Amino acid sequence: MQGYSLVAPAKINLYLEIIGAREDGYHELAMVMQSIDLADQIDITPNGSENIRVQCDNLEVPLDKTNLAYRAAELMAKEFPEQFAKLGGVDIKIHKRIPVAAGLAGGSTNAAAVLVGIDLLWKLGLTKVEIEELGATLGSDVPFCVAGGTAIATGRGEQLAEILGLDNIYIVLGKHLSLSVSTPWAYKTYRATYGDTYPQDNQSLTARASSVHSAPMIKAIVHKNAREISQLLHNDLEKVVLPEYAKVLELREAFASSGALGTMMSGSGPSVFGICESLEHAEKVKQQVRSSIPDEDLELFTTQTISQGIHLKSSI
Ligand code: ATP
């Protein structure tokens, strides 16, 4: 039986507001998520055994049961035991291009690709919503990564409302190779610092979260106005990450004085992005950031917004 090669794009957050604490212990969030063309490639093939095997060309990525791609395959085997018994396990090869632990949903997009890949391999015919629901049990960012594009994400980040795609906006992205920020640490620190400002009841929590639907950022996206989007970028997690991580602050400041239209940290960091007018502008911004921080540990990428999530590259 044939396998599939899938493209698994990263995401950035154009907007991330922490609304408050939920009864289940998670935070209620209001976010605008955006896919970019910086992507991993996931090759998934049946292996005729009872095992799920993961390979990756980046040594930072675990190959055991803690890998989110592995967990996605394990979930499919559990949910669809007949197909698993009949068709066997899978080999998953991850060609990693997305920086790891960067706030770019690298693991989540790999998991989303495995869900889509196994749906194809086992001819399950699942709908997008069914795949997103399975993804939500693996992690809050997984559902968005399935269809990608541009979406408002509320709840823990798993409740999605798609917006008209925002493609071809140039983005420069920076991340220090040796630096990572723990997402649980960032949220825990935010709660310890700002917890006393959270709304006290569920009703005001959901009302505030859903107000993002009518926010100026959404209008700017609908009008594809890169300048306005750049002025409206927001990420509450900057308030705890920037004071703690001098290198992220330095990178954020380098972008702010680079001539980019706007800049923001993505997710819990440490990656920082700048929005640009054109490819030429992006190259200038990249050079400017590089000359402010001539550290070899800093990786810089030129990428673009795209209006799709997991998609098929080829059969293999
Ligand atoms: P998010 O933006 O969803 O918070 P992230 O981009 O910050 O995620 P990941 O790249 O997903 O972070 O990596 C977080 C941790 O998850 C890593 O330290 C790594 O050990 C682990 N991990 C598990 N599976 C994967 C995977 N397939 N790719 C990358 N990291 C993985």
pLDDT 10s digits, 77-113: 999 999 999 999 999 999 999 999 999 999 999 999 9
Name the band, by pLDDT with cuts 50, 70 and 90, for residue 133. very high
- Ligand 1 atom 4 nearest Cα: 103
Q: Is the pLDDT of residue 212 over 90?
A: no
pLDDT 10s digits, 18-34: 999 988 889 999 999 99
Output the CA 105–ligand 1 centroid distance in Å. 7
Name the band, by pLDDT with cuts 50, 70 and 90, for residue 278. very high
Rounded mean pLDDT, 60-76: 97
The pLDDT, as a whole number, for residue 131 is 98
284 is catalytic: no
Q: Is the pLDDT of residue 240 over 80?
A: yes
Q: Is 44 helix (H, G, I), strand (E, B) or coil?
A: strand
- Ligand 1 atom 19 nearest Cα: 61
Fill in the DSSP letter of residue 157: T
State which ligand 1 atom lies nearest to the alpha carbon of 40. Answer: 28
Ligand 1 pocket residue status of 141, Cβ below 6 Å: yes
175 is catalytic: no
Q: Name the residue ranges covered by the structural domains of the chain.
A: 4-164, 170-304
The pLDDT, as a whole number, for residue 110 is 98
Distance CA 308, CA 81 (A): 30
Return the number of other C-beta atoms located less than 10 Å from residue 151's C-beta. Answer: 22
Q: How far is CA 143 from CA 109, 116, 174, 309, in A?
A: 9, 11, 25, 10
The pLDDT, as a whole number, for residue 282 is 98
Rounded mean pLDDT, 178-186: 94
pLDDT 10s digits, 221-234: 999 999 999 999 99
CB 102 within 8 A of CB 179: no
Name the band, by pLDDT with cuts 50, 70 and 90, for residue 204. confident
Topology given in CATH for the domain delimited by 4-164:
Ribosomal Protein S5; domain 2 (3.30.230)
CA torsion 191-196-198-201 (nearest 10°) is: 120
Judged by average pLDDT, the poorest of 32-41, 103-112, 199-208, 262-271 is: 199-208
Q: Which CATH class is domain 170-304?
A: alpha beta
Fill in the DSSP letter of residue 99: P
The C-alpha angle with vertex 101 and arms to 157 and 264, in degrees rounded to 5, equals: 65
Distance CA 154, CA 177 (A): 30
CB 235 within 8 A of CB 187: no
Q: Is 138 helix (H, G, I), strand (E, B) or coil?
A: coil
Output the CA 101–ligand 1 centroid distance in Å. 5
Judged by average pLDDT, the poorest of 22-26, 130-134, 259-263 is: 22-26
Ligand 1 pocket residue status of 106, Cβ below 6 Å: yes
Rounded mean pLDDT, 179-195: 95
Output the CA 100–ligand 1 centroid distance in Å. 6
Ligand 1 pocket residue status of 40, Cβ below 6 Å: no
The pLDDT, as a whole number, for residue 1 is 60
Q: How far is CA 23 from CA 26, 164, 200, 202, in A?
A: 7, 32, 11, 8
- Ligand 1 atom 24 nearest Cα: 67
- Ligand 1 atom 29 nearest Cα: 107
Output the CA 214–ligand 1 centroid distance in Å. 31
Output the CA 252–ligand 1 centroid distance in Å. 22
Ligand 1 pocket residue status of 105, Cβ below 6 Å: yes
The pLDDT, as a whole number, for residue 25 is 87
Distance CA 63, CA 314 (A): 24
What rounded mean pLDDT belongs to the chain? 95
Beta bridge partners of 17: 30
Distance CA 210, CA 126 (A): 28
Q: What percentage of residues in the chain have a pLDDT greater than 90?
A: 91
The pLDDT, as a whole number, for residue 114 is 98
Rounded mean pLDDT, 124-131: 98
> Model-level pTM greater than 0.85?
yes
Question: Comparing 4-164 with 170-304, is the CATH topology the same?
Answer: no
Q: Is the pLDDT of residue 281 over 70?
A: yes
CB 35 within 8 A of CB 308: yes
Rounded mean pLDDT, 248-272: 98
